[in-house]
Amino acid sequence: MASGSSTTSETTDPANKKDGKEHDMDAIYSFDYSILNWINEHLHTPFFNGFFSVITHLADAGWFWIALAAVLLIFKKTRKTGLVMGGALVLGLIFGNGILKPVINRIRPYDNTAWDPIVTRATLLIKPPHDASFPSGHTLASFEGAFGIFLCNKKWGAPALVLAVLIAFSRLYFFIHYPTDVFAGMVLGIGFAIASYFIVNAVWNKVVNKNELKKV
C-alpha cells in the first residue's frame, strides 16, 4: 500500500509536473539556439548582412504585403487575390499580433540571458523590435500574403513564397526570432490565408450569383 501511495504522490506532485514542463522548454530552447548559433557562425558574410537587411525590412509592419494587396484590389482581374491577402493579414493582426504575442510574451533570443546568447541586444546588426517574440510577425505577414496569392494564382504565388521564405530566414539570420517562432508564423500564416480564401470565395460567389439573378 505504501509503495502504491508513493507512486501516486509522485505522479500528481505539481513540482514534478513543473520539472517536466521546464525540461520540455529546455529541449525547445536547446534546439532553437543550436540552429541560431550555427547560422551565426557559418553563414554570416558582409554580402548577406546587406542582402538580408533589405529583405527583412520588406515585412516591417507587413508594409510590402499590405501595399501589394492594395494594388491588387484596384484591378478587377486581381481584386479577389487582394481581398484574400487583405483578409489573411487582418486575421494575423488580430490573432497573431493582438492575442498570441502578448499572451505568450516570449522573450527575444538576444535578450534571453539564461541561455547566454552569442548575439546580444548590443551586438545586433539591425534595430531590435519592441514586442514579444512568438510568433514571428514578419513571417506571419509574409506567408499570409504569399500563400494568399498562391491560392489564387500559382504562377504569381511561387515567387511570392520564395520571398516569404527569404524574409522568414532573415529573422533567424539576424537573431531576432527563434526557429520555433518562425515555424509558427509560417503555419499560422498559411492557415489564415486558407481561411481567408474560403471566406472570400463564399462571399464572392454569393455576390456574383446575386448579380446574375438581378440581370435575369
Q: Contact at 8 Å (CB) between 105 and 140?
A: no
Q: What mean pLDDT do residues 40-52 have?
A: 97
Distance between CA atoms of 206 and 83, rounded to whole angstroms?
Answer: 15
- pLDDT higher than 70, residue 189: yes
Cβ neighbours around 8 below 10 Å, total: 10
pLDDT at 22: 74
Q: Which domains does the chain have, with CATH numbers?
A: 2-215 (1.20.144)
Band (pLDDT 50/70/90 cuts) for residue 29 is very high
Q: For the whole model, what pTM was predicted?
A: 0.87
Q: What mean pLDDT do residues 54-75 have?
A: 97
Distance between CA atoms of 149 and 29, rounded to whole angstroms?
Answer: 33
pLDDT at 191: 98
Peptide bond into 14 cis (omega under 30): no
At residue 212, what are phi and psi to the nearest 5 degrees? -65, -35
Q: Contact at 8 Å (CB) between 176 and 129?
A: yes
Over residues 90-113, the pLDDT tens digits come to 999 999 999 999 999 999 999 999
